[in-house]
Structure 1
Amino acid sequence: MNAFPTPEALLPHRAPNLLISGVTDSSPDHVCAHADIVAGQWYSNADGSMPAWIGIELMAQAIAAFVGLEAQREGRPPKIGYLLGTRAYRCSRADFAPGTRIDIKADLVFRDDSGLGAFDCTLHHDGMQIAEATLKVYETPDHD
């Protein structure tokens, strides 16, 4: 039994744009999540695989889960966040096969009061790292 809330409870995303399947670990400076790759999705290649470039969105959704968990701990709704980008996304494969479980880790590197932040992110399959990037993100300010 997973002790973490469902992704739907943590992220504003809904199907078919909700790509992470669950959170597996969390602390004040990291989150681990996973995505189960399913054929026949809006992003699927002809063979049912997920193009590797969507791995950036898997990382971004893990960060959104981190923020959602933090908001729940503080008893507030999560703020809207934006993926600003990355300088480099490195992936050792061109796609992720259907039926594959991708494990996602996001480590907080930097965050300031203006809402800017950065996370070192990795994707793993069967215990091997298959992708990495540092994502820059922005969280909108509170609106009273």
Structure 2
Amino acid sequence: MRRVVVTGMAGITSLGDTWAAIDAAMAAGRSGVRRMPEWDAIADLQTRLGAPVVELMAQAIAAFVGLEAQRKGRPPKIGYLLGTRAYRCTRADFAPGSRIGIKADLVFRDDSGLGAFDCTLHHDGRQIAEATLKVYETPDHD
């Protein structure tokens, strides 16, 4: 089994939107996973867990696409998360340092760059979250 390490310099994340904020939060061991109390008013919502779980799934997709490009001898392309569908989660939070398994199965991809992945998260041998993520990969710029 090969390990994939997802890295980056900055972004808009659950830990912050500048490299300094993200770096400080990670150094402090802060988790981006959190309860979303504003969702309590939504009666039919099955979770109160915020979007950071979707972020983990999106990073797994980015790792897959990056490795795929590397195997073809190409640089990685820019990709975008367009949205999610059928999101379900059974946990409100995770302890810092928890081992979370992430699986992303390619369901659909066409020549325009649109794609879909069925994603799951696992903790302690149990599935704890699932969603279908819709993504877009920019065209080649040779």
Q: Please provide the CA RMSD for this pair.
A: 2.6
TM-score, normalised to structure 2, is 0.71
Runs (5+) with no aligned partner, structure 2:
15-27, 35-48
Residue 9 of structure 2 is aligned with which of 11, 14, 25? 14
Q: Which residue does the alignment assign to 1:135?
A: 133
Q: Which amino acid aligns with 1:115?
A: G
Q: Which has the higher contact order (CA 8 A, sep 6+)?
A: 1
Counterpart in the other structure of 1:83 = 81
- Rounded to whole Å, the distance in 1 between the matches of 2:78 and 2:104 is 18
Question: Normalized against structure 1, the TM-score is what?
Answer: 0.70
Partner Cα separation in structure 1 for residue 82 and residue 124 of structure 2: 29
What is the 5 A alignment of 1:73-112? 73-112=71-110
Q: How high is the sequence identity, in percent, across the aligned residues?
A: 73
CA offset digits 1:34-70 (Å, max 9, x no partner): xxxx8325x365xxxxx55311000000000000100
Q: What amino acid is aligned across from residue 101 of structure 1 in structure 2? A: R
| Counterpart for residue 35 of structure 1 | none
Greater than 2 Å deviation, 4+ residue runs: 2-8, 13-19, 38-41
Q: How does 1:26-105 map to 2 (within 5 A)?
A: 39-40=29-30, 43=32, 52-105=50-103
Do the aligned partners of residues 3 and 128 (structure 1) sit closer, same or farther apart at CA in structure 2, a change above 3 Å counting? Answer: closer
Aligned with 1:77: secondary structure?
coil
| Higher strand proportion | 1
Aligned mates of 2:59, 2:30 — CA distance in 1: 20
Structure number with bigger Rg? 2
The alpha-carbon deviation at position 104 of structure 1 amounts to 0.1
Structure 1 unaligned blocks of 5 or more: 20-37, 46-50
